[in-house]
């Protein structure tokens, strides 16, 4: 059973229960009026008969029109008919309150058109009953006035609520439809991408075969490269040994160079000392020459 069918079944069950209560209540009151000796039997008897007939017709219609498109209209029609008989044939204003459960049933069905029809009929019936009782029974005129006012206020309020809820329901339904369309588009894209992925996987599988063959050839090439690398490594090792020998020779040459540098420093030092000695000898020779000259001069004076 779908959600819509289950919801419709629940609505029918609620309508059956409330309808049975409403029509059953008015029927019981009508039957009790038969034992009231002060009542006008010309009114009580037809009302009781009408209520019983409507009560029976309600159940007949329930089984005959169950599940059809006019099911809710037929049931609520029976309730309105019973409501009309009840409030139009007696002076008790409190009976107008039966309009409340009838209007609540329209909220269950969330049908704006049905609510509008029930609202119009209910207000019209209460206007007729209110005016009739207002003219016939001056002692309850204020009650008749309040009956009409309360009925109008409740019916209009219920109609506004049902219309707003129906609008919100339609908007939610439209939003759900849009989301479903969006999800459908996404699902189609996923399907298309999946097919494309399958095709790509086939191509990849085919290319993988070529790649395997290439890898086999590459394996042989890698073996040759490894052999060449081995030879290159041996050559590098030999070159490294020669380089080490060269480095040893360089170190020896550097050592000899340092020794030659030290010898040159010593020779430079010895030369500088010889120069200083020569300069000292020159000074002494100069002094000796001066002494000799003075000696010569003294000798000449003697």
Mind listing the pLDDT tens digit of every residue in the chain (302 residues)? Answer: 677 778 878 888 888 898 899 999 989 988 888 887 777 788 889 989 999 999 999 999 888 887 777 888 888 999 999 999 988 888 777 888 888 889 988 888 888 998 999 999 999 999 998 898 888 888 888 888 888 999 999 999 999 999 898 888 888 877 777 888 888 888 788 877 877 788 777 776 777 677 677 667 666 765 675 676 576 667 667 777 777 777 777 777 777 778 788 877 887 787 788 778 888 888 888 888 888 888 888 888 88
pTM of the complete model: 0.56
* Contacts for 33 with CB less than 8 Å, ≥ 6 apart: 39, 44, 47, 48, 90
Give the integer Cα–Cα distance in Å for 124 and 121: 5
What b-and-e string marks burial along 87-117, b requiring 16 or more CB atoms within 10 Å of the CB?
A: bbbbeebebbebbeebbebbebbbbbebbeb
Could you tell me the two tokens for 108? Answer: 């269950």
DSSP for 185-216?
HHHHHHHHHHHHHHHHHHHHHHHHHHHHHHHH
In order, the DSSP letters of 243-278 are: HHHHHHHHHHHHHHHHHHHHHHHHHHHHHHHHHHHH
Neighbour-count burial of 202, counting CB atoms closer than 10 A to its CB (0-12 exposed, 13-18 middle, 19+ buried): exposed
Helical spans, DSSP H, in the chain = 3-32, 41-64, 71-88, 99-109, 112-136, 141-301
Tokens of 80: 């309105």
């Amino acid at each position: 059973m779908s959600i819509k069918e289950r919801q419709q079944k629940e609505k029918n069950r609620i309508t059956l229960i409330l309808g049975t209560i409403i029509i059953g209540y008015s029927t019981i009151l009508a039957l009790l009026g038969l034992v009231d000796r002060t009542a006008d039997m010309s009114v009580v008897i037809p009302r009781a008969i009408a209520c019983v007939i409507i009560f029976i017709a309600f159940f007949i219609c329930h089984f005959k029109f169950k599940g059809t498109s006019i099911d809710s209209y037929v049931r609520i029609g029976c309730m309105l008919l019973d409501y009309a008989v009840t409030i139009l044939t007696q002076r008790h204003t409190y009976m107008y309150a039966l309009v409340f459960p009838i209007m609540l049933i329209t909220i269950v069905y969330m049908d704006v058109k049905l609510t509008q029809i029930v609202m119009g009929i209910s207000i019209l019936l209460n206007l007729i009953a209110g005016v009739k009782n207002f003219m016939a029974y001056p002692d309850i005129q204020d009650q008749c006035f309040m009956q009409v006012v309360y009925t109008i206020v409740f019916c209009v309020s219920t109609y506004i609520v049902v219309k707003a809820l129906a609008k919100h329901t339609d908007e939610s339904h439209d939003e759900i439809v849009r989301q479903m369309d969006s999800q459908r588009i996404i699902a189609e894209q996923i399907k298309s991408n999946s097919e494309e992925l399958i095709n790509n996987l086939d191509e990849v599988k085919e290319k993988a075969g070529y790649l395997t063959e290439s890898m086999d050839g590459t394996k042989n090439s890698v073996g040759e490269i490894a052999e060449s690398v081995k030879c290159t490594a041996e050559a590098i090792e030999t070159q490294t040994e020669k380089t080490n020998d060269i480095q040893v020779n360089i170190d020896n040459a550097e050592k000899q160079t340092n020794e030659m540098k030290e010898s040159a420093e010593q020779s430079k030092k010895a030369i500088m000392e010889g120069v200083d000695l020569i300069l000292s000898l020159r000074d002494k020779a100069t002094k000796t020459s001066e002494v000799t000259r003075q000696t010569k001069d003294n000798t000449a004076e003697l």
